[in-house]
Amino acid sequence: MKKWNLTSALTVLMGLSAVAATGLAATTQRVAAADKTLRIAVPFGPKSSAPDPRARQNGWLSNRAGVSETLIGLGHDMTMQPRLAETFQNVSPTEWRLVLRSDVRFHDGTPMTAEDVKASFEKLDIEGHPGHNPRLSRLLGIESITVEGDNALLFKTRKPNSAFLWSLTEPSAAVMKEGTEELPLIGTGPFVFVSAETDKSYETRKFADYWGGEPKLDRIVMDALSDPSVAKLALQAGDVDLVTNYPEPDFAALKEAGDGQLFSNPTTRLFFFQVRTADGPLANKALRQAVSLGLDRDTIVVASLSGVGGEKANSIFPASMASWANKNLTLDYDPVKAAALLDEAGIKDTNGDGNRELNGEEITLKLRSYEGRAALRPTLEITQALLQQIGIKAEIAMGEYDANNEALKAGEIDMHLQAWGTAPQGDPDYFPSTLAESGVSYNFSGYANPELDALLAKGRENFDDEVRKSHYDRVQEIINEDLPLIPVFHKTQVSVGNGKVEGYAIHPAETYLVTPDLDLVD
């Protein structure tokens, strides 16, 4: 600093030669170039000012931001890959040994040990702790964790759980150290948590001692812009450098014109309706089946995604999930069959006003969705029009995601249009066991099917993939028949950069984004 002040003084007193001026400018440019900040528009923001990655859905944002990491990762081919654990093996139906990398440091500079990993996982079961996560705890089913030296652990599950290792890839299974006032979130990733503003932004800085190599960027800011059109305008204005979820119609226009820095890749994300089956009009199975038959999924894909964003769904899993998708299933568009099914069930339009009645009362289905993904609103609007064609009146509205879930749980609405990754862990158990198994936390349908519950239990207990495939094939059949979840389409993610973004790739599970190689170049 003294040298800079001296140089400044000489500039004033003596003047600067042309050569010196050029050198000063070059120095200034190097300093500016060293401070690389990438701003990314994402559809959803943090839920608190210090969102612990282990709790609720915080892990998805933290994992994508490069702050937290899991013991095992998923490659772009959706296979398990070493991450914080160097090796992992199943030593018995209920025991799993993991050997940790020896070169990992937490963001406070301390080395990661097996004791740290054990302590991190124990927080999942402590009520009141920021990392409390009963959903993940249920999926893992851990009975005990035994530390074997500094870098090895033996996990023992309460019962055989073939999805255990896959569940360790879930972003909520993050390895974290207890936070401090200076570092509220202490992870191991390439970027250190700096600050978060609820539902608005998430800021990080690079971690030079990252085990995977020093990151190329100095700082990353994730701006939560739930309206994709607003995100597009922010990119055009230069306020952000990358929009992860770009509006499909605008992406299609850029693609047609050959403009823009375009990224696209199929994902496991499913747009689907979660249906209230426990009570209300859709407790009637024939009505649920007619609703599904009344959905022209091909038209929805073309209209909502402009031909660039996905393909119609035939089950909860996309055909690209070749290992687990039941390819014998279809979800047909057949309004004639839907009308016949309704007539047979006595759900008829008796007064000629174009709307059918159930138990003497006109049916008005209440459908809700939320902002954050451009295709949700048009899908809801098209669904309303399609249902009217088979005599089913629907009221639609956009709301807040959690509020919609609570309304569905309370029976205040009938269908909630959502977009979930069906296999963020690469295993088929996660999606149906989280949304359709009896009594689980996200089963807002109130749906219960003993056969499905038994199949899911068998799928977790069996270690033969061929046998497991038969169980999950039947799970998909049951869901297509009972329709507590009505699949609509599988999503292709489209992103647009400002032409300077390097090292970005869309992961099929959408749980990864920031890596040490992510860069912003001129």
Predicted local distance difference test score (pLDDT) of residue 373? 85
Residue-level pLDDT at 28: 37
Domain with CATH 3.40.190.10 in the chain: 58-236+498-520
State residue 34's pLDDT score: 56
- 106, 119 contact by CB (below 8 A): no
- List where CATH 3.10.105.10 sits in the chain: 266-492
Minimal CA–CA distance to 461: which of 90, 70, 190?
90
Closest C-alpha among 137, 160, 142, 95 to residue 457: 160
- The CATH number assigned to the domain with range 58-236+498-520 reads 3.40.190.10
**Sign of the alpha-carbon dihedral angle for 27, 31, 36, 39:** negative
Beta bridge partners of 87: 99
The tens place of each residue's pLDDT in the chain, 522 residues long, gives 333 332 333 233 233 333 334 443 443 344 444 589 999 999 999 999 999 999 988 999 999 999 999 999 999 888 899 999 999 999 999 999 999 999 999 999 999 999 999 999 999 999 999 999 998 999 899 999 999 988 999 999 999 999 999 999 999 999 999 999 999 999 999 999 999 999 999 999 999 999 999 999 999 999 999 888 999 999 999 999 999 999 999 999 999 999 999 999 999 999 999 999 999 999 999 999 999 999 999 999 999 999 888 999 999 999 878 889 999 999 999 999 999 999 999 999 999 999 999 999 999 999 999 988 889 999 999 999 999 999 999 999 999 999 999 999 999 999 999 999 998 888 899 999 999 999 998 999 999 999 999 999 999 999 998 999 999 999 999 999 999 999 999 999 999 999 999 999 999 999 999 999 999 998
C-alpha closest to that of 177 among 47, 281, 84, 95: 84
Contact criterion met (CB below 8 Å) for 485 and 274: yes
Residue 76 CB neighbour total at 10 angstroms: 13
The CATH T-level fold of domain 266-492 is: Dipeptide-binding Protein; domain 3 (3.10.105)
DSSP string, 120-187: HHHGGG-TTSTT--HHHHHHH-EEEEEE-SSSEEEEEESS--TTHHHHTTSTTSB--BPP-SS-SSB-
